[in-house]
Amino acid sequence: MTAPIEFCHWLSGTPGSVAFHESIWVYPIVESIHVLTLCVFLGLTVMLDLRLLGAIMPATPVSQAIRRLLPWMIGGFWVMAASGALLFYADPVTNYFNIFFRLKLIFLVTAGLNAAVFHVMASRTIRQWDLDPRPPIRARLAGGLSLALWAAVVICGRMTAYRWFDGDLESLAR
């Protein structure tokens, strides 16, 4: 089995990674796409979470909001994931040793688990509270948790650009 760091070293040596890293235009453009798609994916996620918290769109059934917004959220998510993967590909080793990048991944996975748990729960019970302006506590909890986790993802993502503790992590790895 290859260690993650060896994989990152190998990846950073591939021609595509080097070209991407050194490009003048491609990198900023991909980064811009990553940031602006935030409005689509996270913007609509926030709106849905606020609905779950009972803070917005009280007259819109939760199931309707989910059905009409989910395709946009999923589309936005894949654009974010693909552009994010490309940004990682441009500089794998530096990202690997970046503490904020690692934290971001942890929050990302946790946010995904939260969404999965919510969907399993909602698919069984949503009929009982679909029209409630203020959904039951478990739905509100899922919405609140989602907001907090995605905020953590955004903050860690922003901090990834700053390499404050990379040396610490690198020396730990030795």
Which of 10, 78, 164, 165 is close enough to bind other proteins by CB under 8 A?
164
CB 67 to other proteins: min, Å: 10
Q: Containing H/E element for 18?
A: helix 15-22
* Residue 36 binds to other proteins (criterion: CB under 8 A): yes
Give long-range contacts, CB 8 A cutoff, 24+ apart: 162-165.
162/100, 163/94, 163/98, 165/98, 165/99
Region near other proteins per CB under 8 A, out of 65-73, 106-114, 122-130, 137-145 = 65-73
| Cα separation values, 76 from 34, 53, 70, 124, Å | 10, 22, 10, 26
Q: Is 72 in the site for other proteins (CB under 8 A)?
A: yes
Give the nearest distance from C-beta 68 to other proteins in angstroms: 5
Q: Please identify, using beta-carbon distances, which residue of 14 and 64 lies nearer to other proteins.
A: 64
44 binding other proteins? (CB under 8 A): yes
Rounded-to-integer distance, Cα 53 and Cα 5, Å: 41
Q: What CA–CA distance (Å, rounded) separates 32 from 26? A: 10
137's enclosing H/E stretch is helix 137-160
Q: How many of the chain's residues bind other proteins (CB under 8 A)?
A: 34
Residues that bind other proteins in the complex, under the rule CB under 8 A: 28, 31-32, 35-36, 38-40, 42-47, 50, 56-60, 64-65, 68-69, 72, 150-151, 154-155, 158-159, 161-162, 164
